[in-house]
Amino acid sequence: MDYNNIITAKENNLAIITINRPKKLNALNNETIKELHSAFEVLDADAEVKAIIITGSGEKAFVAGADIAEFASFSVEEGTALAAKGHHTLFDFVENLKTPVIAAVNGFALGGGLELAMACHIRVASDSARMGLPEVSLGVIPGYGGTQRLPRLIGKGRAMEMIMTGGMIGTESALMWGLINHMVAQEELLPFCKKLAEKITKNSPVAIGKAIEAVNGGFKYDVDGFKTEIEAFGYCFGTEDFKEGTTAFLEKRKADFPGK
């Protein structure tokens, strides 16, 4: 499928999405958000794709934020609708995708960019990356999940400080605080993410999808995470992946999982 703002590529069981707006530091405008939704939806439905990496073009920015020019004149109602639509179309959509998503943070991840990275299941950043939620400097707050996901990842106090100061942190602090999983050199970022994805793709895609569902369930106010886990665990027993995984273990061979 052809897109104006993103590039998609497939390598065996891995897909890579690159946000390609380098002149805008890969800022998220409405069209880009729609295209990302479409790409994730298509790749999630592709039985061959068992992991997705998302990154930004160039070395300056993963995503340097939302495209402010698009909403600078919005009313209260339009601003509310903007946030709700963003959650539904992209950020919540990515978080609940059954295919695991790795954010390869290759530079600035600010505002909506950091919120997109936080919606992904795993985050890896280059040692030169910078992260922050500067929305209060514009007279608004993070509206794509930043006030919810950041405290869950790094704790309430640190999240409050990042949000209220609007300041950026480097990769070392992000790693120490648990905002990212790994820090690597810029030239090693994609190779490292690919190796990580390869480890994931060797396992049952059905089980991974159910694990994502169960983990996410524990962070939702209206969901019993333990009940979600029990039901997901039971579901796995009726799948071809479970039959293959247990048979391979008993036969002392590597499992060959059939796919999603």
- Respond yes or no: is residue 115 known to be catalytic: yes
Q: Which residue has the tokens 């396992």?
A: 203
CB atoms < 10 A from the CB of 139, how many?
Answer: 6
Q: Which of 31, 115, 213, 240 is catalytic?
A: 115
Which value, to the nearest 10 degrees, does the dihedral of the CA atoms of residues 65, 67, 68, 70 take? -150
CA angle in degrees (0–180, nearest 5) for 206-211-213? 100
Q: Alpha-carbon distance 88 to 197, whole Å?
A: 26
Q: How far is CA 126 from CA 119, 121, 202, in A?
A: 18, 17, 25
Nearest alpha carbon to residue 154 among 176, 131, 121: 176
Candidates 35, 95, 135, 213; catalytic one? 135
Tokens matching residue 154: 């790094």
User: Using the 8-state DSSP alphabet, how is residue 28 labeled?
Assistant: B
What distance in Å separates the CA atoms of residue 5 and residue 187, rounded to the nearest whole number? Answer: 23
Determine contact, residues 76/40, Cβ cutoff 8 Å: no
Residue 212's closest CA among 149, 121, 91? 121
CB 242, CB 249: distance < 8 Å = no
Q: Is 95 tagged catalytic? A: no
Beta bridge partners of 54: 17, 103
Question: What are the residue numbers of the active site?
Answer: 115, 135
